[in-house]
Homo-oligomer: A and B are copies of this chain.
Amino acid sequence: MTLLGSRPVTAPGWTGQPRTDLAIIDCDVHHSLAKQDDLIPYLPRVYQERVRDQGFLLPGSGYYNSPKRATRSDLADGCDATMADVKRGSDLEQMREHHLDLWNVDYAILTGGSMYSASLVPDPDHAAALCRAFNDWTLETWVGRDKRFKMTLAVTVSDPRLAIQEIDRLGDNPNVVGIMLPTGARMPYGNRLYHPIWEACERHHLAVCVHPGAEGAGMAGPPTGVGYPTYYLETRLARPQMAMAHCASMICEGVFERFPTLKLAVVEVDQFWVPGFMWHLDADWKSLREQTPWVKRLPSEYFREHIRIGSQPLEEPERPEDLINLLEAMHADETLIYCSDWPHWDWDDPATTFPRLPERLHRRIFAENAREMFGL
């Protein structure tokens, strides 16, 4: 099989000059357990027994079918297909060959997947034990084996004290750059009940990363403000809706005033909504800011300083120039971070997804915005 791309990658916007800095930070690379039993050695005995007896007891978004179980079928050989929460991405060698080496990725932010629904599990001790085990397993079997890996911590927000314990336990590891939360939530992430978690993240210089997951599952309510969609096709469109609700909540509740160095990365939620989100909130803030006096600046200023949006799935406008308009209107040189979403079926490779961009903008999107956010 002929591999796509070549080495070194010559993609739109690349100069072909010798590299003097980072070229690609991929902010959404999924690594997964090949099988549930792999986590057993990392669990306390009571949970070892429970998982052996009953499985992970994690809720999935079970009411729709995603095609090919969400993954690239060309990478699926040899994976245990009977395990509902396994995704492809469990093979490190395959990830190196088909992704990191192929595209010369400098850093890959491991975003997991198996533990996204931990925050929506009713039993917070059970959820936190799974998260701890998954984090230790990630450190040992992924981060310890390739210097290009940085990781986000799986945590459960359903008991902030337990989330903070985990953040304090691993947050100073230089390979830990953030925490990972699902879009699915019982309350938008600006709610005051979460603030102690954000305080711990700021203390350890960790970004808060939000990725689609667990919407409409476990203790989460319906994934839209008007109830349950029927089909996967429409459910995917709930992602930008949830992203808007979380971002508005974080800004309006004053999270970025209370935690002035905190960064929020929201990935796999489209980008089209970002300019209008800022226009709308700026206009409304001018009329309504007496209700939220702690929001001292234009909402768009908080967004541009604190919130980063993943590039995948990149919009495919009817008129190509609308993508350029969008990148300008969303201040992509500040807000957009490259994400491949490897190895999912709708992933975006770094070489062919974007049109040719001005070099500075290209470097901001593919490396600099993420480098600054994650302190790489």
Q: With A276-B315, A318-B279 as given contacts, are A288 and B225 in contact (CB-CB < 8 Å)?
A: no
Provide the bound-state CA to CA distance between A49 and B370, in Å.
65
A-B CB contact pairs (8 Å), 18 listed:
A65-B291, A183-B225, A188-B228, A190-B234, A191-B227, A221-B221, A231-B292, A232-B288, A233-B248, A233-B281, A233-B284, A237-B244, A237-B277, A237-B281, A270-B276, A271-B276, A273-B276, A325-B329
Q: Taking the complex as formed, is A52 at the interface, i.e. its CB lies under 8 A from any CB of chain B?
A: no
Residues in B whose Cβ lies below 8 Å from that of A349 = none
Residues in B whose Cβ lies below 8 Å from that of A185 = 226-227
Provide the bound-state CA to CA distance between A245 and B231, in Å.
12
- Interface residue count for A (Cβ, 8 Å)? 77
Q: Taking the complex as formed, is A317 at the interface, i.e. its CB lies under 8 A from any CB of chain B?
A: yes
Q: Taking the complex as formed, is A83 at the interface, i.e. its CB lies under 8 A from any CB of chain B?
A: no
Closest Cβ of chain B to A358, distance in Å, is 17
* Given A189-B226, A233-B288, A234-B251, 4 more pairs with CB closer than 8 A: A224-B245, A240-B244, A270-B276, A318-B329
Find residues 180-228 in chain A having any chain B CB closer than 8 Å to their own CB: 183-191, 215-216, 220-228
Residue of A248, A270, A328 with highest tally of chain B CB at under 10 A? A248
Q: Taking the complex as formed, is A346 at the interface, i.e. its CB lies under 8 A from any CB of chain B?
A: yes
Closest Cβ of chain B to A9, distance in Å, is 24
Which 9 pairs show the lowest CB-CB distances between chains A and B?
A272-B276, A224-B245, A241-B241, A234-B248, A234-B252, A187-B227, A185-B226, A223-B225, A225-B242
